[in-house]
């Protein structure tokens, strides 16, 4: 950090912690009350058998029992693997579709702004509303997905009936919403490709593949990593989409950690158990955010800011 400008009386504009703290403390206090405190409390709850719908029932201390139970519960591991499948599928589709969209939109052309609006709208929609509509699109009788697939397959198609096609349906809906985000990320990466390098590559008549590998990809790599981490974090938290489209079914084949936490907390009202599971998710997310933070700073350093 550069030295700050100092007045004749020796007071620097940016150097005073005595005046700096009062700026950030109010916000930090609100964050402590609304975010940090609930997280700590959530740890407290997870040590007790406790039902939020029966506040009079005295909480029963269990210690780490719920954590032990969760680690050895096959159902929980199935949710973990469903969540992983969903993230892996959705994020990879998003990268492919996002890259294709970049190819379409990175150069300016007449009407680009208006057409981009069509593509950017999905990521601004409410997930739960999107989920409800996709649930309708996947309807075997009235939905257009079934209507398109029926003549192709030669038999009626029920998208949400089998575990694989239900998961695929979820992935398509999530990727539809978020591929444009990956597109925006990749575009930001493209605009940091140094102009001189591109011109040099053109003069050298480098092949397209070579140009992509040695000129374009190195500039895009950092931002692609950020996009992946960001989408992994958000997909990990996805609750609304899953609950609206499949509600975990058929059976429990698309039940994810988030839907499991919701069901345990607000359908079964096993508040303590749900908190233990939620804390496990928090732990995973903090690890991922840490990775994101480091990737971000690395990219910042690489770009010289």
Taking the least distance from each CB to other proteins, the nearer of 84 and 163 is 84
Least spacing, CB of residue 85 vs other proteins, in Å: 18
Total Cβ atoms within 10 A of residue 65: 16
Q: Which is nearer to other proteins, 16 or 207 (CB)?
A: 16
Q: Judged by CB, which is closer to other proteins: 163, or 187?
A: 187
Q: Which is nearer to other proteins, 179 or 254 (CB)?
A: 179
| Least distance in angstroms from the C-beta of 71 to other proteins | 18
Between 70 and 216, CB nearer to other proteins = 216
What 3-state DSSP class applies to 240? helix
Nearest approach, Cβ of 109 to other proteins (angstroms)?
4
The CB-of-217 to other proteins minimum distance in angstroms stands at 13
Contacts of residue 85, defined as CB under 8 A and 6 or more positions apart, other chains included, come to: 167
* Shortest distance (Å) from residue 39 CB to other proteins: 6
Instruction: Output 102 or 163, the one with its CB closest to other proteins.
Output: 102
Quote the tokens at residue 4: 């700050």
3-class secondary structure, 241: helix
Q: How far is the CB of 163 from other proteins (least distance, A)?
A: 24
**Helix, strand, coil distribution of the chain in percent, nearest 5:** 70, 0, 25
Find the helix or strand (DSSP H, E) in which 38 lies.
helix 37-46
288 within 8 A of 232, measured Cβ to Cβ: yes
Residue 271: count of CB within 10 angstroms of its CB? 22
Nearest to 76 by CA among 279, 227, 300: 279
State in angstroms the smallest separation of the CB of 251 from other proteins.
Answer: 22
52: nearest Cα among 295, 290, 278: 278
Nearer to other proteins by Cβ, of 74 and 113: the residue is 113
Minimum CB distance to other proteins smaller for 89 or for 131: 131
SS (H, E, C) 77-117: HHHHHHHHHHHHHHHHHHHHHHHHHHHHHCCCCCCHHHHHH
Q: Which residues lie below 8 Å from residue 252, measured CB to CB, with a gap of 6+?
A: 75, 78, 79
- The distance of closest approach from Cβ of residue 209 to other proteins in the complex, given in angstroms and rounded to an integer, is 16
Q: Calculate ∠ Cα 239-243-247, nearest 5°.
A: 140
């Amino acid at each position: 950090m550069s030295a700050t400008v100092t007045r004749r009386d020796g007071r620097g504009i940016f150097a005073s912690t005595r005046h700096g703290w009062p700026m950030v403390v109010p916000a930090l206090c609100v964050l402590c009350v609304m975010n940090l405190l609930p997280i700590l409390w959530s740890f407290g709850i997870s040590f007790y058998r406790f039902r939020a719908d029966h506040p009079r029932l005295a909480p029963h201390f269990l210690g780490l029992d719920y954590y032990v139970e969760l680690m050895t519960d096959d159902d929980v591991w199935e949710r973990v693997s469903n969540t992983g499948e969903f993230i892996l599928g959705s994020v990879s589709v998003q990268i492919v579709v996002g890259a294709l969209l970049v190819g379409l939109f990175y150069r300016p052309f007449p009407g680009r702004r208006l057409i981009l609006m069509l593509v950017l709208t999905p990521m601004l929609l409410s997930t739960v509303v999107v989920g409800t509509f996709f649930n309708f699109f996947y309807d075997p009788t009235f939905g257009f997905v079934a209507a398109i697939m029926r003549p192709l397959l030669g038999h009626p198609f029920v998208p949400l009936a089998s575990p694989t096609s239900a998961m695929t349906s979820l992935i398509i809906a999530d990727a539809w919403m978020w591929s444009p985000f990956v597109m925006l990320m990749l575009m930001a990466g493209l605009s940091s490709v140094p102009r001189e390098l591109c011109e040099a590559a053109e003069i050298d008549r480098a092949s397209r593949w070579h140009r992509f590998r040695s000129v374009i990809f190195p500039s895009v790599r950092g931002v692609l990593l950020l996009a992946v981490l960001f989408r992994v974090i958000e997909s990990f938290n996805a609750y609304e989409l899953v609950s609206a489209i499949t509600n975990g079914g058929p059976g429990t084949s698309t039940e994810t950690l988030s839907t499991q936490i919701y069901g345990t907390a607000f359908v079964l009202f096993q508040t303590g158990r749900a908190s233990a599971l939620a804390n496990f998710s928090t732990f995973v997310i903090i690890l991922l955010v840490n990775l994101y933070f480091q990737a971000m700073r690395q990219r910042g350093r690489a770009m010289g800011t």
